[in-house]
Amino acid sequence: METRQDPQEIFDSIRRQKFDTGLQPFKLVKYFSFTSLGVILVFTLILSWIISNHARRVMLEQSQEYVLLLAENINQQVFRRFVLPAVVRYGGIALSNPEQFENLDRIVRGLIQGLKIDSVTIYDSRVNIISYSTVSELVGVKDKGGVEYEQALKGKANSRFIYRGSVFSLLSVAPAVSCQLRAYIPFRQVREDGESGEVIMGVIEIVKDLSNNYASIINLQGRIILVSAAVMGVLFLVLRTIVSRAGRIMESKALERLRLEEKLNQTERLAHLGTMVATVSHEIKSPLGIVRSTAEILEKRIQKVAPGNEHLARIIVDETMRLNNIVVEFLDFARPQQMKMERGQVNVIIDKVLAFLAPMFKEQQVNVLADLAPDLPETAVDIDQVYRALLNILLNSIQAMDHGGRLRISTGSSDEGRRIKVVVHDSGCGMDEEKLAQIFKPFFTDKSKGTGLGLAITKNIIEGHLGEIFVDSRLGEGTTFTIHLPVV
């Protein structure tokens, strides 16, 4: 069985689609803005990582070159100042001899003094054993030389870095930062011309601690990332603020556009309806006049032919008059009359309306209090139309007081004498908010009789005078109409 969707739901869905369509370009701009910001942030972090890694690589390469150069210098100095004299004096090298060991130790320590070298170690070329080290505990240790030792024995100088820690070490979520450089060079004989010979006597290992330099690079990397993140964060907040504000403006503009479109559509519908009503009313008005005239003639003849039955013709006359008033009201709403402005007193118009309605006030048991300001200035008004507007309001108040009540009408000046203020308050049944919001809409009425055009015509008249009309009402407490007319 097919389920039919509620028309209101269809309307709301179409309205939401129009609203979303109006915001679609802004949503795309918003999406691309935040996406671009994210891409810039990622690119900045990658760039900072590349820069810091490049700085680390440069630092390590320079340290490596420096240590290898230092190892070459140690090779030259140890051979010239220790090996040659030891061979001449002792007939050979024997580091087990305390005198030779102390002599070598003095030369090596003199060479590395002030150079921030952690240790210098010399391996024997025949056996993987440490013959000498500035770290006394290592002397005599066997098989400590690894792959680098083997490569150095083959005549190839090499080095390796041992480091740990990263930028996460700054957050104490990774091991502490440390970096150590170990360089291995073959300990060669030195020829008379100062060049290294082919004979390898051992391997020299130099250990240098680069932890401070490495920590500085890590700190630099952390600062770059922190500054980049902070800048991107500020840009994100600024962009979010701008986008949020622009979003609110765009939403309000989109809603305003939808309201204007709906109001325009409603105006067009009312215009077509007004044209139709005017045409139909005009066509009805002439036959009604004929019916009324015929009924009046018939009433007179019935009085002569069948006295006592003339009330039947009177009913026709009364009803045609009522229909004619309705038609006139439709015509007045559909085709508002041209304003005939002349200077007049609003108080005088009110007095005329009150005088006309006096019998109705008495019949409905309505007590009227008129508080009209005596010094009210004259202004340019269409007296007939203002009369009709006030008449509609007072009739509405009378109809709201079925069992009698109090009606108060007052006048005065507002906005430092630039406007005339008219206030009508009744003690009738009042209205709820839903009815209050529709009271000036054409054809809206909660009465069994009436067209619902009286207050709509009144609003058109007041606005035609460049004035304003407001209504305030509460159920069971009465209603207050307030009119402002400019003093011209």
Residue numbers in the chain where pLDDT is lower than 70: 1-34, 167, 169-174, 247, 269-286, 288-289, 291-292, 308-313, 317-318, 322-338, 442-453
pTM for the full model?
Answer: 0.45
CB atoms within 10 A of CB 320: 20
Q: How many CB atoms lie within 10 A of CB 307?
A: 8
Q: Is residue 125 part of a domain?
A: yes
Tell whether 299 is covered by a domain: no
Cβ–Cβ < 8 Å for 277, 330: yes
pLDDT value for 336: 59
Q: Of 211, 227, 243, which marks where a domain is finished?
A: 227
**Residue 70 resides in a domain:** yes
Dig out the tokens for 304 from the structure: 């002569």
Q: Is residue 401 part of a domain?
A: yes
Quick one: pLDDT at residue 484?
A: 92
In a domain, 1, yes or no: no
Domain count, the chain: 2
Residue 2 lies in a domain: no
Position 230 scores a pLDDT of 81
CATH number at residue 156: 3.30.450.20
Rounded CA gap, 333 and 273, in Å? 11
Same domain flag for 343 and 223 = no
Residue matched to tokens 């009805």? 284
Contact 296, 317 (CB under 8 A): yes
Domain that holds residue 460: 338-486
Environment class of residue 280 by beta-carbon count within 10 Å: exposed (0-12), middle (13-18) or buried (19+)?
A: middle
Report how far residue 31's alpha carbon sits from residue 64's, in angstroms, rounded to the nearest whole number. 49
Residues forming beta bridges with residue 186, ordered by sequence position: 203
Please report, for the domain that includes residue 418, its CATH number: 3.30.565.10
Write the CB contacts of 298 (distance below 8 Å, at least 6 apart in sequence).
313, 316
The Cβ of residue 71 has, within 10 Å, a number of other Cβ atoms equal to 24
Cα–Cα distances (Å) from 80 to 51, 77, 203, 314, in that order, read 44, 5, 16, 149
Instruction: Please give the DSSP secondary-structure letter assigned to residue 146.
Output: -
Domain finish residue from 197, 227, 257: 227
In a domain, 160, yes or no: yes
In this predicted structure, what is the pLDDT of residue 281? 60
* CA–CA gap between residue 287 and residue 32 (Å, rounded): 69
Same-domain check for residues 56 and 196: yes
CA distance 347 to 381: 12
Domain boundary among 227, 254, 287: 227
180 - beta bridge partners? 162, 209
Considering the domain boundaries, does residue 308 fall inside one? Answer: no
